[in-house]
Amino acid sequence: MAGGGAAAETAQGAESRVFAALASPIRREVLRLLREQGPQPVAELAAHFDMARPSFSEQLRVLRESGLVAETKAGRQRIYRLRAEPLLEVQEWLHPYERFWREKLTALAGLLDEMPDEPAAPGAAPGTVAAPVPPDPSVPSAQPATPDGNEYVP
């Protein structure tokens, strides 16, 4: 296998690890906490979640291996901080899809702008507006009734 192929495989593996890490709502919440509150010790992060410490440590391991967080030791504490660089790769991957949907929504907006505000009368030429329909005297009024069943008259 050529060197370029191995590099592409490595990049795809890293990208896959980032997507896998982002798949968990718990891990996304950890990233949000680190983004909003800055670096934190494991105990502070874990306090936000109702889960056993080994389970939470597993969540942090996945984030570490994806490159989304970094761990440093400060005495006996392990401090975690956000590493947002891998998210740039995700953003680059998503960009063509964002552009696709933006173009589709722009085209839809153009079609909606061309449509009349009122529906056309049956059999009317396209782009014409329906004339207001006068009330039918044979149809009972849509006015609300009073508690005794009589029609409400303002």
User: 104-124: per-residue pLDDT in tens?
Assistant: 899 898 888 888 877 666 766
The pLDDT of 6-18, averaged and rounded, is 69
pLDDT of residue 31: 97
pLDDT of residue 6: 56
Nearest to 16 by CA among 67, 55, 61: 67
Task: Tell me what the pLDDT averaged over the chain comes to.
Answer: 82
The pLDDT tens digits of the residues spanning 45-101 come to 999 999 999 999 999 999 999 999 999 999 999 999 999 999 888 888 888 888 888
Does pLDDT of 8 surpass 90? no
pLDDT of residue 92: 86
d(CA 99, CA 116): 28
- Tokens of residue 51, six digits: 């889960």
**Are 14 and 67 spatial neighbours (Cβ–Cβ below 8 Å)?**
yes
- Tokens of residue 2, six digits: 């050529």
Residue listed under structure tokens 């979640």: 49
pLDDT of residue 2: 47
Q: How far from each other are the two terminal CA atoms of the chain, in whole angstroms?
A: 86
CA atoms within 13 A on the CB side of 153: 1
pLDDT of residue 120: 64
Query: Between 64 and 127, where is the model more confident?
Result: 64
**Are 93 and 105 spatial neighbours (Cβ–Cβ below 8 Å)?**
no
Q: Which residues pair with 52 in a beta bridge?
A: none
Structurally, what CATH architecture does the domain formed by 13-84 represent? Answer: Orthogonal Bundle (1.10)
Predicted TM-score (pTM) of the model is 0.60
